[in-house]
Amino acid sequence: MSSEKDVVKYVIENKIAWVSYNRPEKRNCMSPKVNRRMMEILDELEYNDEVGVVVLTGEGEAFSAGMDLKEYFIETEKDGLAGTRKAQGEAYGWWKRLRNFYKPTIAMVNGWCFGGAYGPLFACDLAFTTKDAQFGLSEINWGILPGGGATKVVVESMNFRNAMYHAMTGENIDGVKAAEWGLVNEAHDADKLKERVAEVCNILLEKNPVALQATKEAVRKVSEMTYSNAEEYLVKAQEAANYFDNTGRKEGIKQFIYEKTYKPGLGAYNKDIKR
Ligand code: COA
CA of 262 to the centre of ligand 1 (A): 51
**pLDDT band, very low/low/confident/very high, at 51 (cuts 50, 70, 90):** very high
- The reported pLDDT for the residue numbered 2 is 54
User: Does ligand 1 have an atom closer than 6 angstroms to the CB of 149?
Assistant: no
User: Does ligand 1 have an atom closer than 6 angstroms to the CB of 76?
Assistant: no
To test ligand 1's pocket by mutation, which of 27, 59, 135, 174 has the most ligand atoms within 8 angstroms of CB?
27
Which residue, judged by its Cα, is nearest atom 12 of ligand 1? 26
Taking the CA atoms of residue 175, residue 179, residue 182 and residue 185 in that order, the dihedral angle to the nearest 10 degrees is 110
Q: What would the pLDDT profile of 236-263 be if each residue is shown by its tens digit?
A: 999 999 988 878 888 999 999 999 999 9
Are the CB atoms for 13 and 20 separated by under 8 Å?
no
- The reported pLDDT for the residue numbered 43 is 97
Give the nearest ligand 1 atom to 70 CA.
Answer: 2
The partner residues of 130 in beta bridges, in order of sequence, read 188
User: Does ligand 1 have an atom closer than 6 angstroms to the CB of 114?
Assistant: yes
**In angstroms, rounded to a whole number, what is the distance separating the alpha carbons of residues 223 and 217?**
10
Amino acid type, 251: E
Q: What average pLDDT does this structure show over 158-176? A: 98
